[in-house]
């Protein structure tokens, strides 16, 4: 809970492997987070604030995002599967339209923002059925924290857009 604004929020942290890696990329990281806090779209999880903590051996970026009441779409679908045999096609169409609208917005930014890891775990749903893309952490941030798990979809990104 954000006690200043009186709204529920989520505290996120990205920890970097080494201080020297962070220092070498610090300006770029700040620029990326400044851009992320400027994103305004109804189907993208809102980045409220961010700051860096460089006092430890492993520096980190802390950022506050909007809280999504029903959690990830994957979790919602699992809960729904127990109660309902099949979701109506209209619901799927509405979700897809919202996701495509968010992706179109991200790709039209200057420079374009490539999500790079869009799954049912990074798509969130609110109690009213509004779907939002979250975890918008471009390659310049995740470069120092990548694991095999979050690399699995990167082969779908065209080299001219992914910076590979």
What's the pLDDT tens digit per position in 71-125? 899 998 888 887 777 888 999 999 999 999 999 999 998 888 888 788 899 999 9
DSSP 87: -
Give pLDDT tens digits for 135-164: 765 444 554 443 334 444 444 444 455 554
- List beta partners, residue 123: 133
pLDDT value of position 93: 96
pLDDT value of position 163: 52
Which tokens in the block code for residue 89?
């096609």
Fold designation for 9-162: Transferase(Phosphotransferase); domain 1 (1.10.510)
Tell which residue, 122, 125, 124, 112, has the closest CA to residue 149. Answer: 122
- Type and span of the H or E element at 123: strand 123-125
State mean pLDDT over 2-17: 75
| Gyration radius of the chain over CA positions | 17
pLDDT value of position 95: 96
Whole-angstrom distance, CA of residue 100 vs CA of residue 35: 20
pLDDT value of position 74: 92
Which tokens in the block code for residue 62?
């802390």
pLDDT value of position 87: 84
Selected residue with higher pLDDT from 53 and 150: 53
pLDDT value of position 102: 95
Per-residue pLDDT band at 42 (split at 50, 70, 90) = very high
Q: Which residue has the tokens 């470069």?
A: 143
Whole-angstrom distance, CA of residue 67 vs CA of residue 64: 9
Domain range summary for the chain, segments of one domain joined by + = 9-162
pLDDT value of position 30: 82
Whole-angstrom distance, CA of residue 45 vs CA of residue 132: 6
Whole-angstrom distance, CA of residue 83 vs CA of residue 73: 16
């Amino acid at each position: 809970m954000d006690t200043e604004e009186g709204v529920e929020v989520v505290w996120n942290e990205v920890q970097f492997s080494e201080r020297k890696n962070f220092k070498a990329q610090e300006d770029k990281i700040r620029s990326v987070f400044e851009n992320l806090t400027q994103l305004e779209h109804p189907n993208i999880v809102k980045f409220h604030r961010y700051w860096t903590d460089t006092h430890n051996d492993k520096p980190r970026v802390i950022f506050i995002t909007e809280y999504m009441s029903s959690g990830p779409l994957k979790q919602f679908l699992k809960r729904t599967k127990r109660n309902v045999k099949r979701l109506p096609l209209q619901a799927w169409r509405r979700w897809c339209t919202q996701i495509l609208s968010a992706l179109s917005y991200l790709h039209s930014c200057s420079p374009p923002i490539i999500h790079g890891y869009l799954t049912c775990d990074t798509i969130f749903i609110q109690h009213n059925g509004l779907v939002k893309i979250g975890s918008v952490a471009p390659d310049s941030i995740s470069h120092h924290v990548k694991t095999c798990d979050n690399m699995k979809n990167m082969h779908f990104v065209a080299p001219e857009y992914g910076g590979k």
